[in-house]
Structures are given as structure tokens and as C-alpha cells.
Structure 1
Amino acid sequence: MNTVRTVSDTKRSFYSTHTRPINTIYRRVVEELMVEMHLLSVNADFSYNPIYALGVVTAFERFMQGYQPERDKDSIFKALCQAVGSDPARYRQDAERLGTFAKSLSPQELIQWLSGTSHVDGYGDLQEQIKALANNPNSKYSRLLAIGVFSLLELSNPELVKDEKQRVEALKEIATTLHLPEDKLNKDLELYRGNVEKMNQALIVMADMLAAERKKREKRAAEQNATVVAQSPDTPQDTASPGS
């Protein structure tokens, strides 16, 4: 009898793979993403697809901006995917392929491709996976899938997603095409966009704090250096002129 993997099992796997401490500010981001991916991975109605992969990669990169040390980010991402029994290389490759492809299309061309009414050589495998998603009435919707949908539009036309009317209309078309719950899609993306904005603001604040702290250190170092120079026995001293 197969035992369903628990959240604790996934966390244990993650921390045995990525053994370095995680920056406190980002630990919540990592653990929330880990739990979300875990719950999907053990759901019988969930199936991997390239839009979901793009959502995972985009969410990770957006919310891990500014992480230090930078070199640990790749290790954290790999551990996240492996902890839920997935291949991190596949996520990266599918996200990059789909993202690059979206950049070459207008939003309307993208929607036509997603619907299967147009075909492009070299991307048939991705299109088949998306077709399977759309044709499965029991397919599991997720916030990460919604982020993948938004990323497709953003890559296709960055200006479109800034215009509320155009964005809502495009999302409605995609929701209809892929049989996604439109209300949930819009609510999840509104929350996502708000969180991205908060993260961007937090990064600005952190950058300002680091710059201010660096200036303080430089000022202290300069003052200490000036004191050492002044107290050095080799420092020329003013002497009185003869007969003064």
C-alpha cells in the first residue's frame, strides 16, 4: 500500500538537499511555495504542464529577487522541485521554451495557439500538454497555473497587462479556452500582482538601508583612519620658529 507523502516528508527532503541556512526574510516565501507545490503533487487531479512550470519558475524568481548569497538560489530551486518528486531541469527548460515562444507572439496569436486553432513547428509537444489540460474536466486549477497564464501575457505584451481592460479581456479569453475558473483566476492574479508590488517596494527599502549602512561604515573607517594617522609618531608636527 502506497503512503501519501506528507508536508513534513517534503520539508525534510528539502532541507536534506539544501543544507545551507535560508535568509530569514525569504524563508516564508520558500516554505509557502514548497507547501503549495506539495499539495498539488499529491492531488490525484493534478498533472504537470508547461504553463504550471512557467508559473513556478516565475513565482520563484519574482519573490526571490535580491536573495543573498545569489549562488544559493539555484540550490533552493532544485531542492524545491526534488522535494515534491519533480525534475528541476524540466521546469526550467519548459518555462524557458514557453516564455521565449510567448515573446514571439502577439496576445491574440498566443490565445489562438493556446486554443489549438493555430500551430507552430517546434512547439507541438507543449501544445499537446496544454490541450490535455484544457480537455480534462477534472484538471486541478492552481494559483501557480494562474501565474503561468499571466506570465504568458506579460511576455507577449508587457504593456497589455498594465491596462486593466485589456488584461481582463485577455484573461477571460484564456480562461474560456483552457476551461479555467475566471473568478479564481482574476482573484489569484490580483493578489499576486499586489504581492509582487510589495516585494518590489521591500527591495527598494532594503537597498536604501544597505546603502545607508555602507555609508556609515565608510564614514567610521575614514574617521578611524584619520585618528590613526594623527596619532602616528611619523606624522609631521608643527614646531615653533626660532626666537618666537
Structure 2
Amino acid sequence: MKTVSDSKRAFYAAYPRPINSIYRRVIEELLVEMHLLSVNADFKPDPVYYLGIVTSFERLMQGYQPESDKEKIFNAICTSTDGDPQNFKSQAGILLTLAKDKSIDELMAWLSNPSAEGEAGYIVEPIKAIANNDNFKYSRPFAIGVYTLLEECDSKAVQNQEKRDEIVGTIAESFGLPSEKMKKDLELYRSNLEKMEQLLKVIEDVLEASRKKREKREQEKIDLVKKEDQVNEEVEEATAE
């Protein structure tokens, strides 16, 4: 069976560039989580899981530089755990689109009996199968996917913990999922997002202070050169006299 070390080697082979230390833990934790799920006999990926992976990656990797490398890193995480990055993004995008313009009540009703037409139709059956799967393997990315859908419907409602817990509890019950585990996973996720935002703010402040110091030093050099030029001119004028 493929090991975590195998997946990590595959990742660093696919993306051999150094990774900013701030984000290394985010990437490795996501990689390990996806690996452990991929080798679990009871686990079957579904559109909600895909949405959770895509969303958590995008939000926890915000501010990564160079920005253009984020897609390469995401692709490497997916392929190293035997996933197709385009499939992740495609199914996540379609599911999120279906949630748009729905109220939370409409979303919950839809999740209980999902339906869709056209290209969106193929994501319906995997969602329907969740409630009927006695061995469904719950995962943190699944909870994040649910949370992302709720945010899309009513971002203000999910900021209220009591309201959020009530909604998550109802969804967990309808799918036969561990309600308390989902709530704790989402609290941790929200906490990690807040910490990342705070860290980025600190970095931004440090960079801004550094920029101002650099500009001040450059201005001082310019002023010094101007002063030296002025002195030289005065000397030349005095000599000429």
C-alpha cells in the first residue's frame, strides 16, 4: 500500500521548488489528510469533499508568493495522492454554482434530495449516495465543503455560532454524520483562517515598515548627494572669484 512518505516524495518531485515556511505546514497537513483518505477502503470522494479541498487550499494559501505557483502546488498535492486536480476544481465549481441564489433552507432541502440538469447532473448521484452509504467515511474536507455551501447561501448566518451549529446539526443528522465532530472541525477551520489572516496582516505591516525605512534611506542618500553637489558648486564659485 502507498505510504505517506510515498505521497510526500511524489509531491516534492512534482513541485521541487522551496515552499515558504509559513505555508509549509498547511500544505503538508492537507497532503497527509488527502493521502490517508485516498488509501481508506471506505472513502469515496464526492463533490462536497472536492469543494472542501479546493476551498481550504485557496483560503489557507492566500497571500502565497509567487501567486502563479499556487496552481502548481495544488496540482502537485492532487496528483501525488492519485487525484485529478481538474476534476476537483470542476466538481467543486459546479456544486458551488448550484448553491448560488438558494436560501439555506433551500440548500438543505436540495442536499436531502439533490437534482440538476445538463453538465451538473453527474455530481448528483454521488451526493445522493452519501445518505444511503452506511460506511460513508466522514472527513474534515467534507465539513468544510458543507460550510462553504452555507457561506455561499447566507454568509451572515454562518457567522452566528448558535445558528451555524443548528444548521450543521440538521445536515449531519440527514446524512448520518457525526454532528459534534463536524462542529469541532469547522471551529478549528475558522480558527485557522483567522490565524492566517492575522499572520498576513503582521507580515504586511512588517513589509510596509521595511519599505518606509528603505525609502527614507534612499531619500537621505539623495539629499546627501544634493548637499555635496551644492558644496562643490560653492567651492567652484569661490575658486573662480
The answer to whether 1:192 aligns with 2:189 is yes
Within 5 Å, give how 1:88-99 maps onto structure 2.
88-99=85-96
Q: Distance in 1 between matches of 2:85 and 2:115?
A: 27
Moved over 4 A (4+): none
Within 5 Å, give how 1:1-244 maps onto structure 2.
4-116=1-113, 119-122=115-118, 123-232=120-229, 236-237=233-234
Give the superposition deviation at 1:105. 1.0
Give the superposition deviation at 1:148. 0.6
Give the superposition deviation at 1:86. 0.4
Q: Is the 8 A contact 1:229 1:235 kept in 2?
A: no
> What's the TM-score once normalised by structure 2's chain length?
0.93
Q: Is the 8 A contact 1:55 1:147 kept in 2?
A: yes
Q: CA RMSD in A?
A: 1.9
Give the superposition deviation at 1:17. 0.5
**SS in structure 2 opposite 1:211?**
helix
The aligned length equals 238
**SS in structure 2 opposite 1:141?**
coil
Which amino acid in structure 2 is aligned with residue 119 of structure 1? S
Gaps of 5+ in 2: none
Relative to total residues, which structure has the larger helix share, 1 or 2? 2
Q: Distance in 2 between matches of 1:93 and 1:236?
A: 69
Q: Distance in 2 between matches of 1:174 and 1:204?
A: 34
Q: Distance in 1 between matches of 2:231 and 2:129?
A: 81
Q: Is the 8 A contact 2:116 2:124 kept in 1?
A: no
Residues 175-205 of structure 1: per-residue CA shift (max 9 Å, x gap) = 1122211010011111111111111111111
Q: Distance in 2 between matches of 1:167 and 1:204?
A: 27
